[in-house]
Structure formats: structure tokens, C-alpha cells
Chain A
Amino acid sequence: MGDIMEKRDYKKIVDRHKPTENRLFNAIIAFAVGGLVGLIGQLLIEFYSSWLSIPTQDATSFMIVTLVFVSCLFTALGFFDKWVTFAKCGLIIPITGFAHSMMSSGMEYRNEGPIFGVGANLFKLAGSVILYGIVAAWFFGMIRFVFLGGV
């Protein structure tokens, strides 16, 4: 097909028919929903520390466990994916997105069995987050160790 249009010219046609995404709207929604998740987290910490008299540090862990559990439960009940589609990074960036990514992978591959299915695919989406999270943590830990003497 020697006489066919140049890829550059074709790209121009494609770009002309590319719909504009509502970036501002998406950002506002993600900001609001992400903030709401943060607020719920803070309220949970307040609840655990003042009502149940748990030390703040432990209450933070309790808050994380609660959010992880709730988002996993909502994923399992089948409506959290619709929320994620709507709120996008507002639910993907907080701990809720991490839990949701593992839960949805687990559910997807349950039919392939515990080893080749759930076991092999549970970290399909979350694996990168964990790996690079640990690598980044190591680097920042080293920087802190070198410059602040491990304080």
C-alpha cells in the first residue's frame, strides 16, 4: 500500500474527531470524593480514639482496616466499580483503590482456582504499587538515614 496516506496526516484526522474529556469536572469530582474519603478516615480515627479510647496511632491502623474492609465489601457486593468509574482517582488513589484493585482481581480469577487463579492474579494491579512503594520507601529511608542520622 505505497500510495496510502501518511501516518501524520491520518493522525490529524483522528485528532480532529477526538472528543474532549471533561478534565476539570473529573478533577473536581475526584478532589471532592477523595477529600470525602479523607474526612471519613479522620472521623473514624476520632471515633476510635475518643469513643473507644484507643491510642491515636492504633486508631489510624483501625481506620485503614475499616476503609479496606468497607471497600472490599462494596466491591464484592458489586457496586464499588460503578463508584470508581464515576469518581475515578477520588477512589483509586486512597487506600480504598488499593483494596478494590485486589478484591476485583481476586473475584475475577476465582474460577481459575486458588493457585493459578486468585493466587497468581491477586496482585495483578496492586503488585506494581507494592513493589515501587517498597523501593521508594527504601530510597527515602536511606536519604533520611544519611542526612538526618536515622531520626
Chain B
Amino acid sequence: MTFTYSDVYVNNYATVGGPYEKDGPLGPSIDKVYTNLYAGKKTWEQAEVKMLSDSIDLVLRKSKKNSKDIDLLISGDLLNQVTASSYAALNFDIPFFGIYGACSSSVEGIILMSSLIDGKKIKNGIISVSSHNMSSEKQFRNPTEYGAPKPKTATFTSTGGASIFLSSQKSKIRVESSTIGKVTDMGQTDPFNMGAVMAAAAGDTIYRHLKDMKRSVDDYDLILTGDLGIYGKEILIDYMKKEYDIDLGKNYDDSGTMLYDYAKQKEVLAGASGPLCIAMVSYTSVLPMIEKGKYHRVLLVATGALFSPTFVYQHQPIYSISHAVCLEGIK
């Protein structure tokens, strides 16, 4: 399902990161960094809530808006029952939707919000996402202090919060179109190789977006996938070539490979992941580039692995989903 928008604009965005993000190549562009993973709170979960709230707070301040001026807050994260989002939402006087699309939540939120704004139901809204390395590790894997060995294909959940403010008020970036993804099953079962799980969903969504919009890869200055990591990125390039005969070419990149410095940060293995990953990379590097006019048209393809530890233990395959949103610079 692909549709276009006529009057939705990106007005502002803000990011909050943890120590690993600070040390990465995008570190200097992050609005607020915590050098401690606890962010002054007692638990990992509360730290995630704090970082998420901070990012909403920052985007409000940057836009010179009050909570009361915002029509809707859509937020997503990885914690059970999307609790980080709900708990952060209490701090703001804004009507709230909590969503779950795993690591595709940011684009899922942008699609929902843009549709509501374009349909004139609301004037503006904030979409926020968060993830926390330790709270995810605790929920999906082993206790954080255990240090269980992981294969090279494992990705490293990014820490922090990111928020974006959309409205019908004209700005330098407009939300042009979006494609809603379908749940995909490629029979993958390895929770330590999420890139392989999600690459197929990303490929399917990119293919359908290009087909529906009657465009080719060259019509985009950048196609950015969510959090496939090094190996998932290679798989996607191969898969697109073989299945759809589409050459992703040099305008393609993966945000999982951009957030951290592989040479210095060995613990990240295959790269960054988490709902925050594509949001943080876009809001710190891609959107500013569109504003500066270096990119004209960008396709953000967020990818999410849909599973829970329970389903994995029950030997079910890991499904995936991917949503795409196209952003355009306005001269």
C-alpha cells in the first residue's frame, strides 16, 4: 500500500543518546548525550523513559511549542507492552498512541501521523521512539552482566530517544509518500542474525514502493534501511539483485552500519539496531543534509523483526516487517 501526501512537513527533530552513540561517528550531532547508561535513574527501563522524555522535551523546545499546542503523540519502543512510551507520555499533556513495529516503529509512526495530518484530522504531532541496549538485552537475551558470547552477525541495540515534529506548516522538508509493509516470513530462526531476518522485508517494501511510485533507485539520492547491519546489508543488495533485478547501487546505505565506529567499538559486532537506530541516523545526518540541499529525495526504510523470546523458544520462525517513507527537500 503506497500513498502520497500533499501537505505534511518535517518541522523539527531531536535526538538523545547514550555513551556508545556519543563515541560513534554521529556523536557530535546528537542533541543531548548521557555518558552513563543509567541516565541518572535507578534502572535501565527508567533510563529509557528518561531519554525518551528528554527527546520529546527537546523537540518541543526547538519548535518553541508547548505540550498543549500538540495534537498527537505517537511513540514506540521495544519494552514489553510499549511501556517506555506510555511512561514517557505521562510527562506531556498530549493525546497519545503507543505503537509497536519493533525497529520499524519510527517510520510506522511517521506514516500514521502524516496520514492524519494530510487528512486534516490534526494539525501537527510528534513521533518518538526509544531503545536501550541494556533493557533490551535484559528482555530479549541474557542478564546484562552475564556477557554471553555472541556470533559476529549479532547487532547491538542502540540507546537513547529520538523525536520528530510533523505539521501542515511549511518547512524545508516534506513527507512525500509512504509504503506500508507486509509481514514477511523467510524461515529465519536465528535471533542473533536479525539482518538476515529483516532484509527480505526491506527488499519487498523497497520493490513495491518503487513499483507503485513508478520510480527507479536512481530517483533517490539516498535509500536508507533500518538496522540490517553489515551482513544484512550485503544480503539485501544480493536479494534485490536476484529477486527483483534491482541494483541498489551507491545510493544505498544501512543506518545500522552508520551509528557506530567499527574500528574502535568492537562490541557492536554487526552494527546498531533498535527502533532508535534509523531515527537517530536520519535525524542527526540525513535530515540536516536534506535541509542543506545536499539530498533532494530520500527513502527511509525502517525494518523490524517481529518475535518474542517465547515464540523463539517454541521454535517459531522470526517474521519481519518494513515500512518506507519518502522525504523531499523543498527549495
Chain A residues in contact with chain B, CB under 8 A? 1, 4-5, 7, 9-11, 13-14, 16-19, 21, 75, 78, 80-85, 88, 100-101, 103-105, 107-109, 111, 124-125
Given contacts A1-B204, A14-B193, A19-B153, contact A85 B187 (CB under 8 A): no
Contact residues on B (Cβ < 8 Å of other chain), bracket: 20 to 34
The answer to whether A125 touches B146, judged by C-beta atoms less than 8 angstroms apart, is yes
With beta carbons under 8 angstroms apart, the residue of A11, A17, A108 that contacts B234 is A17
Tell me, rounded to whole Å, the shortest Cβ–Cβ distance linking A21 to chain B: 6
Tell me the interface secondary structure of chain B in the complex. loop
The answer to whether A100 touches B146, judged by C-beta atoms less than 8 angstroms apart, is yes
Q: Which of B93-101, B136-144, B282-290, B294-302 lies on the face that meets chain A?
A: B136-144
Give the residues in chain B near A103, CB-CB below 8 Å: 145
With beta carbons under 8 angstroms apart, the residue of A5, A16, A78, A124 that contacts B145 is A78
The answer to whether B146 touches A111, judged by C-beta atoms less than 8 angstroms apart, is no
The number of residue pairs between A and B whose CB atoms lie closer than 8 Å in the complex comes to 89
Complex Cα–Cα for A63 and B235 (A) = 50
The answer to whether A80 touches B147, judged by C-beta atoms less than 8 angstroms apart, is yes
Tell me, rounded to whole Å, the shortest Cβ–Cβ distance linking B172 to chain A: 37
The answer to whether A104 touches B235, judged by C-beta atoms less than 8 angstroms apart, is no
Given contacts A84-B146, A100-B146, A111-B43, contact A18 B200 (CB under 8 A): no
Tell me, rounded to whole Å, the shortest Cβ–Cβ distance linking A77 to chain B: 10
With beta carbons under 8 angstroms apart, the residue of B147, B184, B196, B243 that contacts A14 is B196
Tell me, rounded to whole Å, the shortest Cβ–Cβ distance linking B272 to chain A: 17
Tell me the interface secondary structure of chain A in the complex. helix
The answer to whether B147 touches A84, judged by C-beta atoms less than 8 angstroms apart, is yes
Tell me, rounded to whole Å, the shortest Cβ–Cβ distance linking A85 to chain B: 4
The answer to whether A84 touches B239, judged by C-beta atoms less than 8 angstroms apart, is no
Give the residues in chain A near B188, CB-CB below 8 Å: 14
Given contacts A16-B238, A111-B43, contact A11 B187 (CB under 8 A): yes
Give the residues in chain B near A101, CB-CB below 8 Å: 146
Instruction: Decide if B42 is an interface residue (CB 8 Å cutoff).
Output: yes
Complex Cα–Cα for A111 and B188 (A) = 35
The answer to whether A21 touches B151, judged by C-beta atoms less than 8 angstroms apart, is yes
The answer to whether A125 touches B142, judged by C-beta atoms less than 8 angstroms apart, is yes
Given contacts A19-B152, A19-B153, A75-B145, contact A10 B182 (CB under 8 A): no
The answer to whether B149 touches A88, judged by C-beta atoms less than 8 angstroms apart, is yes
Give the residues in chain B near A104, CB-CB below 8 Å: 142-147
The answer to whether B239 touches A5, judged by C-beta atoms less than 8 angstroms apart, is yes
Other CB < 8 Å A-B pairs besides A80-B147, A104-B145, A105-B146, 18 of them? A1-B204, A10-B239, A14-B196, A17-B238, A18-B153, A19-B152, A19-B153, A80-B145, A83-B147, A84-B148, A85-B149, A85-B150, A103-B145, A104-B142, A108-B143, A109-B143, A111-B43, A125-B146
With beta carbons under 8 angstroms apart, the residue of B184, B204, B242 that contacts A13 is B242
Complex Cα–Cα for A60 and B184 (A) = 55
The answer to whether A105 touches B234, judged by C-beta atoms less than 8 angstroms apart, is no
Give the residues in chain B near A21, CB-CB below 8 Å: 151-152
The answer to whether A1 touches B149, judged by C-beta atoms less than 8 angstroms apart, is no
